[in-house]
Amino acid sequence: AAAAAAAAASGARDVFAERVPRAAAGSGGGFSGEADRAFRLGIGLEKNGQFRSAATAFHEAATLYQCFLDGQPEFRHVTMVSAERETPALLAYACVRLAHLSMDALGDPKAATRLYKDATMIDPQPSSVSFDGIGTSIEACSSDGSSLERAVEAYREGLEQDPNNRKIMFHLGVALERLGGEENIQEAEKYMDVLRRSE
């Protein structure tokens, strides 16, 4: 579970890397915002395998960023980034990191689903990582496959965001096969063929 959480977090970092301001990510130096510090702490704790503590730090960062975005004057000091462009991406990224931890390290797919959905609503440019996470966490919540259609819908949205994402293609193909039906099986085969040809 720890290796899966680290791999998933790495994928999220790649997607958000160009959009997350240096101030919050830890390379700005000298920034004193409480939300930014909590965010950096979460990254460090996650790298060290301290997943519960990392989740607490990301939760604190997300809460403070949300208060900042809500325009509450007493929270103007919590970040050193601008609210208009960068803070929503930071808040979404904190939600994605929390979702990864909730799903993979803490075993709570319902919380992960909610957090991934929150990230897609907060972020002005929702990432394919969020939609893939919605799909995988929905599937994890349902042992009888009753939610597969919602998972397929999320994977399709993720593939729309990133048409060449092999991981999402695979997840979509497997979900379509599990869903059954001739059309779904044919569509699943199409994705699996693309994946086989690109190996």
For 156-199, how does the pLDDT look when each residue is reduced to its tens digit (9 = 90+)? 999 999 999 999 999 999 999 999 999 999 999 999 999 999 87
| pLDDT exceeds 60 at position 7 | no
Q: Kindly give, in sequence order, each residue whose CB lies less than 8 Å from that of residue 144, ignoring residues fewer than 6 positions away.
A: none
Contact between 189 and 167 under an 8 Å Cβ cutoff? The reply is no
Per-residue buried b or exposed e for 85-114, using 16+ beta carbons within 10 Å of the residue's own CB: ebbbbbbbbbbbbbbbbbbbbbebbebbbb
Position 83 confidence tier, pLDDT thresholds 50, 70, 90: low
How would you class 167 by CB atoms within 10 Å of its CB: exposed for 0-12, middle for 13-18, buried for 19 or more?
Answer: middle
Q: What is the pLDDT of residue 4?
A: 44
Q: How far apart are CA 181 and CA 190, in angstroms?
A: 14
Position 28 confidence tier, pLDDT thresholds 50, 70, 90: very low
| pLDDT exceeds 80 at position 128 | yes
DSSP class of residue 33 equals -
3 state DSSP class of 9: helix
Specify the pTM.
0.75
Identify the top-confidence range among 23-27, 34-38, 60-64, 118-122: 118-122
| pLDDT exceeds 60 at position 84 | no
Position 106 confidence tier, pLDDT thresholds 50, 70, 90: confident
Q: How far apart are CA 61 and CA 85, in angstroms?
A: 17
Contact between 114 and 69 under an 8 Å Cβ cutoff? The reply is no
**In terms of Cα–Cα distance, which of 162, 192, 159, 158 is closest to 174?**
192
7 or 192, which is more confident: 192
What average pLDDT score do residues 37-55 get? 91
